[in-house]
Chain A
Amino acid sequence: MAIDALEMKLRPPADTLAPYPPKLITLASGEKMVVRECTLKDVGALLETVHPLLAVAKDYYDIVAARMYSEILGWFRYRVANEFVIVGAIDGVIAGIVTSRHVKSGLGMSLHTLTIKRGLRVGAQLFAAKMEHHIDYLKEDEVHIVAESPIGFKRWMIEYELEDRSAQYPELRHELGGVPTFTLTRKLWDGLRAVKCTGSRPIDPALLKTADKLIPPSEYVQLPNWKRGA
């Protein structure tokens, strides 16, 4: 059997997903954050960004970083079906990353949200962008969501008032270890979109170009005294 043929047997089937149109968000600091869907050419910068956070136990960065690293690598190696990655970048520097997956018609599976630049609700904006993609562009009716940190639970389960589907376990369970599953429905999103989701489209091409080549951050607030390359 040719290697290429074997490789193709290892790969999941892939649907053609609607693209996520890039947008621009002015953060409270006045910084302009480009939010755009990643392509496989971004993977190196994404993995470089996530990797240092594997050592940060505080606020569960370690588990989120470890899982996100594997999700991005799985996407790059064609081992996850219909995954998408959205990034927020300020002057090209990665401020946050979200990962997610289209499961089937009408259903999405939210994976992880990793905030690099803290204090400006970058994670909240990127999570909202992820939900926007699932429901408004991929036309899904429900997105299954779990939280692996108290911050995540507060931000998504409580602030979004997600439907608690944990009683339906094990018939309904999220892919991430079967922890209690919550769901964002189209109806919930329709009520939340205006207060949770923002961004201007289309983006000035010059601003979009700043996020063309993603740059891993040189410093992390989560890692005092750490410097890339030091």
Chain B
Amino acid sequence: MAARVGIVGIGHCRFGNSSEYDLVDVIAYAANAAFRDAGGLKLRKEVDQVFVGNMAGGLFNRQTSVASALVSRMDMEPVPAELVENGPASGASAIRMGYMAIASGMADVVLVAAGEVMRTVSGWEATDIVATMAHHDAEYNMGLTLPGFAGMFTRLYMQKYGMTERDLALVAVKNHANGAKNEYAHVQIPVTIEAIADGPEASVVNNYVAEPLRMYSTCPITDGSAAVILVNMDSAKAKLFRQKPIRIAGIASATDTHCVHNRKDPLVLDAVRLSAEKAYAMAGVGPKDIDVAELHDAFVIFELLNSEEVGFFERGTSFLGVRKGETEIGGRIPINTSGGLKAKGHPVGATGVSQVFELCRQLRGEAEEGRQVKDPRYGMAVNFGGFGNNVVTTILAKD
């Protein structure tokens, strides 16, 4: 039987603009915070393996070999350290690698730290760098960007299911309300439906980015880092940590075609559904058991689609649930209590770990007042790499 893997330390920086800081320092900040949370910096010497999630340090910061740089910066040599790159799902993939290292018996304690500093370049350049995850010839060279993709995707969904731009705005209003209460969020400003959708000035205040996506349908460009410490809950080392472990009950990934046009139906995100199904099976739970979820909403349409693929809503109906407030805190299934990528921000390589950080806070009961879900037992995170072509789903449990 594989070892039980738990999270015994969590760390996070305030997301926003860290472009004045070195990428490695930004990641080390979260890693050190995780050790302090776990019981102190002395615990660094207990680590058997380090995995670092980062998507594009070589492009944004001219820094490659980020894992090597991090262990040296943190005086953790000679611990083994590897970089995990899976686009915007790099963070969750790094956690999955950490889980596998412990489950295989090769490690008892793993530090997973992830970060991205994107605001060293202009918004246009950042968009271009992120677009390098697309198919080079069929997509990137044709000028497609992720907002462009998401715009077309949103248009298709609107035509097929009758969703409106106002429905997208409702997701943004919810996520900004949550982000406004999250001390780690990039954008801590609530927005109103009148201002971004209904009012006479809304079309300018909430301008188009890639029609029908508007500014408030799209995540900001954000710097930041997050870290977690994983432990073999059945090992002697588990007793060294002061935090009661939050167990990784299920973690799974799945892939889909690199080219979106090769999919039978572009609105079907097979990799999300398959990774969720595998994670549910591993955890022995189903969608109805999940009490809180962080779903990758780089564009708000993704939150809606992901919530359908993981089984919270029937296909084509998630926006109806948003209208009823079912995804708000206090609703049937609170989604993106952190503010999501929309308000908390999306430092691409860090996002998967940041989502798990938020779920740990929720399961520990440590979220800020007004943001805490009542007595959650299971939390789910979906971290979306590429345009849905490499997805990691994680289910955490409070035992």
Which residues of chain A have a CB within 8 Å of any CB of chain B? 25-30, 58, 119-121, 125, 128, 150, 154, 158, 195-200
Contact = CB atoms under 8 A, between A and B. Distances in A.
B187 A25 contact: no
B122 interface: yes
B29 interface: no
A180 B39 CA distance: 56
Contacts of A119: 187, 189
The winner among B122, B195, B202, B203 for most chain A CB atoms within 10 A is B195
B20 interface: yes
B20 A28 contact: no
Given A27-B195, A28-B206, A30-B192, A150 B122 contact: yes
Contacts of B196: 28
A49 B196 CA distance: 28
Please name the 7 residue pairs, one residue from A and one from B, whose CB atoms are nearest each other, closest first: A30-B192, A198-B204, A198-B201, A28-B191, A26-B195, A28-B195, A30-B195
Nearest to B121: A150
Contact of B192 (A28, A128, A150, A196): A28
A29 B201 contact: no
The winner among A25, A28, A197, A199 for most chain B CB atoms within 10 A is A28
B122 A199 contact: no
B357 interface: no
B205 interface: yes
B317 interface: no
A29 B195 contact: yes
Contacts of B312: none
B122 A28 contact: no
B204 A28 contact: no
A154 B191 contact: no
A29 B190 contact: yes
B123 interface: yes
Contacts, number: 57
B194 interface: yes
B194 A200 contact: no
Contacts of A121: 205
A206 B124 CA distance: 42
Contacts of B200: 26, 198, 200
A29 B207 contact: no
Contact of A28 (B123, B124, B203, B216): B216
Contact of B199 (A26, A128, A197): A26
A100 B194 CA distance: 32
A197 B204 contact: yes
Given A120-B189, A154-B123, A26 B204 contact: no
A119 B216 CA distance: 12
Nearest to B220: A119
A216 to B, nearest CB: 21
A58 B20 contact: yes
Contact of A25 (B122, B205, B207): B205
B300 to A, nearest CB: 14
Given A28-B189, A30-B191, A30-B195, A195 B207 contact: yes
A89 to B, nearest CB: 16
Interface string B169-212: 00000000000000000010111101110011111111110000
Contacts of B123: 154
B189 A158 contact: no
A120 B126 CA distance: 21
Given A28-B206, A29-B189, A154-B123, 4 more contacts: A28-B191, A195-B203, A198-B200, A198-B203
A30 B198 CA distance: 11
A119 B392 CA distance: 31
Nearest to A59: B17
Nearest to A153: B122
A58 B123 CA distance: 17
Nearest to B201: A198
The winner among B124, B207, B216 for most chain A CB atoms within 10 A is B207
A27 B208 CA distance: 16
A154 B122 CA distance: 8
Contact of B191 (A29, A128, A199): A29
A196 B201 CA distance: 10
Given A119-B189, A200-B200, A30 B194 contact: yes
Interface in B273-294: none
Contacts of B216: 28
A2 to B, nearest CB: 51
A25 B191 contact: no
Given A26-B194, A30-B194, A196 B189 contact: no
B58 to A, nearest CB: 22
B124 A26 contact: no
B59 to A, nearest CB: 18
